[in-house]
Amino acid sequence: MVAQPSRQYVTVEEWRKLESRSHDIKHEYIDGQIYAMAGGSRAHSFVAVNMVTLLNAKFGAGPCIAYNSDAAVRLSPARYTYPDVTITCDECDQATPDEREIQAPRVIVEVLSGSTEAYDRGEKFSFYRACPTIQEYVIVTTRYQLVEVYRRTPDGWKEFQVYGPGDEIELKSVNVRIPLAMLYRRTTVPQTLDAPDGEV
């Protein structure tokens, strides 16, 4: 995202009809408003592709599967988004020709861009936290190589880990580890940000 919402209330069924006819632009649906999604950079696209590829290679024959941003995710009856990567392990979400929505997301991955970072870290994260099936939220930076993982615990979203160059990203809810270097392979995303003059 983020574009301005339509100011007219739209039902979920109207949104679904719009999505079935819209081949160039996807729209997220939040509480009766639709939001047109903007495209991302080549690095954004390639990192997301790497994540889906690496995850599905780890999952093998299942039951978990990783989807890209073509699949909408149902967060609640009034909220549907298109995360960059969604992991589900629910039998109802296996790949079928006609279904367009993921019903039971377990892990959400958002690859940040300058226009979406505040939203992905703020309001959108609050939508993900409110979805009872989501166990981990992963934020991937493309200004430099950094991944943040937020985890749901019995006491709420109390666990947080940061991964940098040389680390393996751990997704506990699906029992998977991914080398961070593989996520950024074949990109020019720098390992670190250069410190400003006078800082270490």
Chain centre to alpha carbon of residue 73:
10
pTM score of the predicted model:
0.90
Question: If you average pLDDT over each of 117-121, 182-186, 192-196, which comes out highest?
Answer: 182-186
Q: Terminal CA-to-CA distance of the chain, rounded, Å? A: 34
Give residue 5's pLDDT. Answer: 52
Give residue 68's pLDDT. Answer: 96
pLDDT value at 200 more than 70: no
Averaged pLDDT, 182-195? 88
Taking domain 39-183, whether its CATH number is 3.90.1570.10 is answered by: yes
197 pLDDT tier (thresholds 50, 70, 90):
very low
How far is the C-alpha of 200 from the C-alpha of 190, rounded, in Å?
17
Please state the domain extents for the chain: 39-183
Output phi, psi for 28, to 5 deg.
-85, 150
**CA atoms within 13 A of residue 14's CA, in its CB half-sphere:** 12
199 pLDDT tier (thresholds 50, 70, 90):
very low
Averaged pLDDT, 52-77? 95
